Structure 1
Amino acid sequence: MSVLQFMTTTHFGFGASARLPQLLEQIGSTRPLIVSDYGVERAGVLEQALNAVPCSDKLPSWLDTPPNPTEEAARLGAETYKHAGCDGVVAIGGGAALDLAKGIAIMATHDGTLWDFCNRHAKPRAIINPAPLIAMPTTSGSGSEVGRSAVIIFNNGVKAGVGCAGIVKAAICDPDLTLRLPPSVTAATGIDALSHCVETYSSPTVNPPADAIAIDGLRRALHHIERAVTHGSSDKHARWHMMMASLQGAVCFQKGMGAVHSLSHPIGALGYHHGTLNGIFLPAVLRYNRDALGVKYDIMRSCLPTELAGQDFADAIEALLTRIDLPTRLATLGIKQSDLTRIPEQALQDNAHKTNPRSLTAADYSHLIEQVFE
């Protein structure tokens, strides 16, 4: 039996940020905690996102979001929430800020530790009445605003998810908030969105509606990522489509991921960017899965732009990484082979491992790492 879940109420389009006051009223929040990061603040995007909220500069905020959200940051953010007398959370930023905000919303109304709610815990606790949360992404990558979990690095070193479907009461996807992104961030987050579409479509979980969404998202990403990277704020059309592709990939998380994510999660726990890692592993994993994917591989290849028609799909993705100036080898990130000795065993424990279309052993994971190391 399949369980189909669609989806967080999402206000999508240029200027959608103006809906924030109305949505705060709907969730009954007059003093929300603003969760973001200093980079978003310095770029002026935080002020832009809150422009429609009266006296927004007086609202309490938590801007100490790590590049990869941590259990400790969620604990400290929840303490700020309680001390400031907040009654809701507004997350404004990339996937790190949005996932951290989910952790804060949980810990704001629960005792214990965030690990108690992790999907890798032997008996995860139920989440009951978390703080109401509105999510406003400023990148087109993670899709956390509609995702069913928050990916956190826990105090024990494990990077894993906290299942919290429904925690986001409303999402605001305003492509205007992505226009100031530099090319490097546009590329790394964009390949993250693309990898979500590929891996969810590749999953053997039966969910035809999600498959259709994932393929549509993949086609959007393939046709618009280079323009978004190259043209920046001048190509609003490309920015719109990349934000939609990001949302679509995350809607399909319900199908599960695959080996790209089961590798990027434990390596990301060492401090490396999630989307960049996904891009590095994606071509190698596609080649590994090709026979198991069957006709799905050809359907994904058919999504390539006309000028790339006829190319092998994995080869086309690898060439795309080079064109948008993303790394294709782990060594270029400064990773040492000695850092990766435990990764194959950790990948076997990751939830994404369960839904790869072809089974893997620790030796298979080691071979994939070797292929993309240098």
Structure 2
Amino acid sequence: MSEKITFAPISYTGWGSLEHLAQEVQRFNAKKAIIVTDPFLKNMGMTDKVTKPLEVLGCAYEIYTDVVPEPPLAIGEKLASFTREHQFDLIIGLGGGSALDLAKLAGVMATHEGKVEEYLNLTGTKTLNNKGLATILIPTTAGTGSEITNISVLSLETTKDVISHDYLLADVAIVDPQLTVTVPPKITAATGIDALTHAVEAYVSVNASPVSDALALQAIRLISSSLRTAVENGQDKDARTKMSYGSYLAGLAFFNAGVAGVHALAYPLGGQFHIAHGDSNAVLLQYVMGYIRSSCEKRMKDIYEAMGFSATNLSQEEASYACVHELKRLVADVNIPLTLKGFNIPENALDLLTEDATKQTRILARSPLPLEKEDIYTIYRAAFNGEIVEK
């Protein structure tokens, strides 16, 4: 069986790789760029690392900071209009997943008519028909993988939807771990577990392949061996470098194999309660993987070993149980709450969360264990009570 493997056209990775920005801007012969970032990064001077090379090249720029975590559709619509009005020829995204997703959105919507909502995956009626503007994406966190995927996630009233097309792929991704050393422990933890979830779900996905498997397992090795250190000591160069590479590889893995149940159930948590995406994944990871464990025992054994543990004397079943336990322990060690109660989510929210999660059919289809409405409710109930249950 043949398969399509997709990567962003050009990626620069490793400590100091931001030095390649100028040559890429020059290659595009850009005259006017929009830098999509968040106000915090601008206030702390992070944008200077991007604007100085542009100034040397004589490239005009606008810094756009109307970026918020889990950006709602209205923010996307506003940015699309702004980009069309100002005749930019280059998009630069700098920041976490929200900034990068919005930058990708701006790039394609600049050359398309209509509203953003008309292009949404679940409810839209229009299809993208051209690549849009040149786009350079520069992550400042190690987690989302947005710099090398083709989706832009937007929050709706109670859930999330995406625009997904290869036209959203960045022309250039610059993954410089040096940009992540100032990320606070809480965000380091949430984005790190997000990246781990990408790798874990890609590895057990029904769409997994030998290529995505190799990417996912190496991502799990890197993240599992460095996340605790990165949270405890953000200045640790080795830990930050491993996390950036791990996030990048996990992004490539899930872009090609897809994510599944954890993400499907996480989206409503972000939509209804505005919980950061990484935290939403983290609080659900052990419960979803515990519930589907019997459907992917061999692969969970592989994950357990990639996390640095020996399964020589364990059966597949025993190793899969141990894997769930270690996923839980890692989330706990980086100080993320282990239950929905820990995020102040009330018990009476479980029904609506379930209703919205069932709408994520695109994602749920990749689960090795089909998850129906009653399964989803059971998982939310388990996450609320803090008790792992299985099918």
TM range, smaller chain: over 0.9
* Residue in structure 1 matched with residue 231 of structure 2 by the alignment: 229
Question: Residues 283, 322 of structure 1: CA spacing in aligned structure 2 closer, same or farther, 3 A cutoff?
Answer: same
Question: Residues 346, 47 of structure 1: CA spacing in aligned structure 2 closer, same or farther, 3 A cutoff?
Answer: same
Distance in 1 between the 2:66 and 2:107 partners?
Answer: 15
Which of 256, 265, 269 aligns to 2:267? It is 265
Question: Residues 94, 127 of structure 1: CA spacing in aligned structure 2 closer, same or farther, 3 A cutoff?
Answer: farther
Distance in 2 between the 1:294 and 1:329 partners?
Answer: 24
Which of 210, 214, 230 aligns to 1:212? It is 214
Question: Residues 300, 203 of structure 1: CA spacing in aligned structure 2 closer, same or farther, 3 A cutoff?
Answer: same
* Residue in structure 2 matched with residue 370 of structure 1 by the alignment: 381
Task: Compute the displacement of 1:49 (Å).
Answer: 4.0
* Residue in structure 1 matched with residue 388 of structure 2 by the alignment: none
* Residue in structure 2 matched with residue 5 of structure 1 by the alignment: 5
Which letter maps to 2:342?
A: T
Is the 8 Å Cα contact of residues 308 and 316 (structure 1) preserved in structure 2? Answer: no
* Residue in structure 2 matched with residue 163 of structure 1 by the alignment: 164
Is the 8 Å Cα contact of residues 17 and 52 (structure 1) preserved in structure 2? Answer: no
5 Å matches for 1:28-39?
28-39=29-40
Unaligned runs of at least 5 residues, structure 1: none
Task: Compute the displacement of 1:82 (Å).
Answer: 3.0
Identity among equivalent pairs (%): 27
Task: Compute the displacement of 1:123 (Å).
Answer: 4.2
* Residue in structure 1 matched with residue 104 of structure 2 by the alignment: 102
Which of 125, 135, 150 aligns to 1:148? It is 150
Is the 8 Å Cα contact of residues 67 and 98 (structure 2) preserved in structure 1? Answer: yes
Is the 8 Å Cα contact of residues 6 and 256 (structure 2) preserved in structure 1? Answer: no
Distance in 2 between the 1:62 and 1:308 partners?
Answer: 50
Distance in 2 between the 1:164 and 1:32 partners?
Answer: 23
Q: Normalising by the residue count of structure 2, what TM-score does the alignment of the two structures yield?
A: 0.90
Is the 8 Å Cα contact of residues 106 and 127 (structure 1) preserved in structure 2? Answer: no
* Residue in structure 1 matched with residue 363 of structure 2 by the alignment: 352
Distance in 2 between the 1:2 and 1:165 partners?
Answer: 19
* Residue in structure 2 matched with residue 276 of structure 1 by the alignment: 279
SS at match of 1:342: helix
Worse overlay, 266-275 or 77-86: 77-86
Distance in 1 between the 2:124 and 2:163 partners?
Answer: 13
Question: Residues 124, 292 of structure 1: CA spacing in aligned structure 2 closer, same or farther, 3 A cutoff?
Answer: farther
5 Å matches for 1:156-195?
157-167=158-168, 168-195=170-197
Which letter maps to 2:304?
A: R
Distance in 1 between the 2:193 and 2:366 partners?
Answer: 20
Q: What CA deviation, in whole Å up to 9, does each residue of 1:30-79 have, x standing for no partner?
A: 21101000111223222234443326996212101121122221221123
2:349 equivalent to 1:334: no
Which letter maps to 1:17?
A: L
Is the 8 Å Cα contact of residues 36 and 91 (structure 2) preserved in structure 1? Answer: yes
Distance in 1 between the 2:218 and 2:190 partners?
Answer: 20
Is the 8 Å Cα contact of residues 70 and 100 (structure 1) preserved in structure 2? Answer: no
* Residue in structure 1 matched with residue 28 of structure 2 by the alignment: 27
Distance in 1 between the 2:7 and 2:178 partners?
Answer: 23
2:81 equivalent to 1:79: yes
Distance in 1 between the 2:160 and 2:374 partners?
Answer: 21
